[in-house]
Amino acid sequence: MPRFFDVLLCGTEIFFDNGTEQSIIGFLSARRIANDSLENAVLRARHDLLIDWNHTYNADRKLGIPKLTTVQVRPVNKWLHRSPTEDFYFFDSEERKQEHLAWIIDSARPWYRLRKTRPAKTV
């Protein structure tokens, strides 16, 4: 019987110019994977994320293939934990990366825990 894992991945070394002084240096994304082992869950999450990356942002193959690193893997009870948001959270600095990291981790909290409020965006 498969177990469920929340896998949080970080992609770097992409060529993404957002038209400002600070260009995008990477992204964070989480996936919930059903698999028998932790190692296979990470491999499946990387595979799914690269397919999603190529279909949504890299259809013309100009942004490059991101270098993926595993930030966090944790086994979860599917019925007690919310699924993590599977969006791409782009960052241009280490501070922004830490903000996104906290938000993604909080989004997959157990259903009975209250959500922390997201900090207001600064312009």
* pTM of model > 0.75: yes
Locus of tokens 């599977």:
86
* Residue 30 and residue 6 in contact, taking contact as beta carbons nearer than 8 Å: yes
Please, which residues have CB within 8 angstroms of residue 31's CB and are 6 or more apart in sequence?
6, 7, 9, 45, 48, 49, 84, 86
Q: In this predicted model, what pLDDT tens digit does every residue of 50-65 receive, in sequence order?
A: 999 999 888 888 888 8
- B/e letters for 4-36, b = 16+ CB within 10 Å, e = fewer, are bbbbbbbbeebebeeeeeeebbbbbbbbbbebe
Q: In this predicted model, what pLDDT tens digit does every residue of 80-119 receive, in sequence order?
A: 666 776 789 999 889 999 998 888 877 666 555 555 555 5
